[in-house]
């Protein structure tokens, strides 16, 4: 089944468009997991237990799995999320020349990390993304307009045609969508850009990061991020994702010494965000 069909069904089943970001910063892990084998996985396991009923997907950011045992923690995390029936979007922001890109894309293989979808960087052009785009059952989220302040440095540059570069990227992503597997990453912190990209590409689902810790606009994220899915299996359902990472996984930080309270707070934060976003759907 294609990624966006699976995602639309998941969103429908849990009434949530929340992507829970699994970014287990080693400096912020509570004592209850810090001394365990694979602490990052043990942390994620507890987070997944607490949040899965409100999660449309999990988004582990590959940066947080660098270093010894990082890949093992990521592999275990993805398998554990799948065990709860939740798709996984690997946030790796890949993009490189063809033979390198093919290796990066193996993260989507069932005998690789088995991620359901991945984020990619469009700046090396179509051929660098081909190994991802060809995988009909996997989602490919192209960075459109990022949420960080420096995103403007390049992405807002005006082209000779008068359009900003991010709009050209969005149009290209639409063009690359032969397999109905392309989405766009557009931050919730830049409302004008969010709106204008939605107008430029009315049919692509967005991953909208930046709500929560970065202070982005949840209502605009839902209004512009979701589209009615017109796929072969889950047609007519909403599809799109609004991500929060630190705002959910570290919501219990004041209860660091009490594991149940700590992870309970993450569950509550995921539930509250899901309910808040549902108001705007």
Ligand X SMILES: O=C(O)c1cc(=O)[nH]c(=O)n1[C@@H]1O[C@H](COP(=O)(O)O)[C@@H](O)[C@H]1O
* Cβ atoms 175, 130 nearer than 8 A: no
Judged by beta carbon, residue 91 or residue 167, the one nearer ligand X is 91
Residue length of the chain: 281
DSSP 94-151: E---HHHHHHHHGGGSTTTT--SEEEE-GGG-HHHHHHHHT-TTSEEEEEEE-SSTTH
Judged by beta carbon, residue 32 or residue 245, the one nearer ligand X is 245
> Of the residues 15, 69, 71, 93, which is catalytic?
93
For residue 243, give the H/E element and its range.
strand 241-244
Shortest distance, CB of residue 243 to ligand X, whole angstroms?
5
**Integer Cα distance of 254 and 196 in angstroms:** 39
Q: Is there a catalytic annotation at residue 59?
A: no
Question: Which residues, in sequence order, are bridge partners of residue 156?
Answer: none
Shortest distance, CB of residue 185 to ligand X, whole angstroms?
5
Judged by beta carbon, residue 38 or residue 185, the one nearer ligand X is 185
Residues forming the site for ligand X (CB under 6 A) = 21, 23, 61, 91, 119, 146-147, 185, 187, 209-210, 212-214, 243-247
Shortest distance, CB of residue 22 to ligand X, whole angstroms?
9
Shortest distance, CB of residue 35 to ligand X, whole angstroms?
25
How far lies 276's CA from each of 16, 21, 58, 211, in Å?
Answer: 10, 17, 18, 12
Judged by beta carbon, residue 205 or residue 209, the one nearer ligand X is 209
* Cβ atoms 157, 200 nearer than 8 A: no
**Integer Cα distance of 59 and 87 in angstroms:** 9
Judged by beta carbon, residue 234 or residue 269, the one nearer ligand X is 269
Shortest distance, CB of residue 144 to ligand X, whole angstroms?
8
Residues marked active site are found at 93
């Amino acid at each position: 089944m294609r990624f966006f069909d699976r995602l639309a069904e998941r969103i429908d089943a849990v009434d949530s468009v929340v992507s829970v970001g699994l970014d287990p910063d080693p400096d912020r892990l509570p004592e209850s997991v810090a001394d365990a084998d694979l602490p990052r996985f043990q942390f994620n396991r507890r987070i997944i237990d607490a949040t899965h009923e409100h999660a449309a997907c999990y988004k582990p950011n590959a940066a947080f799995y660098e270093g010894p045992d990082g890949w093992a923690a990521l592999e275990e995390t993805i398998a554990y999320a799948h065990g709860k029936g939740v798709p996984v979007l690997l946030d790796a922001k890949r993009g490189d020349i063809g033979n390198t890109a093919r290796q990066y894309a193996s993260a989507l293989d069932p005998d690789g990390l088995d991620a359901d979808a991945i984020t990619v960087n469009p700046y090396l052009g179509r051929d660098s993304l081909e190994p991802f785009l060809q995988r009909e059952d996997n989602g490919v989220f192209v960075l459109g307009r990022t949420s960080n302040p420096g995103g403007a440095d390049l992405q807002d540059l005006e082209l000779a045609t008068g359009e900003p570069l991010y709009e050209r990227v969005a149009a290209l992503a639409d063009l690359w969508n032969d397999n109905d597997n392309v989405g766009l990453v557009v931050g919730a912190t830049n409302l004008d850009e969010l709106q204008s990209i939605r107008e430029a590409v009315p049919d692509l689902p967005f991953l909208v990061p930046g709500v929560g810790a970065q202070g982005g606009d949840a209502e605009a994220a839902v209004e512009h991020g979701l589209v009615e899915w017109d796929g072969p299996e889950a047609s007519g359902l909403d599809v799109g994702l609004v991500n929060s990472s630190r705002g959910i996984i570290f919501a219990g930080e004041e209860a660091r010494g009490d594991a149940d309270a700590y992870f309970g707070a993450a569950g509550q934060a995921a539930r509250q965000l899901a309910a808040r976003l549902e108001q705007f759907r």
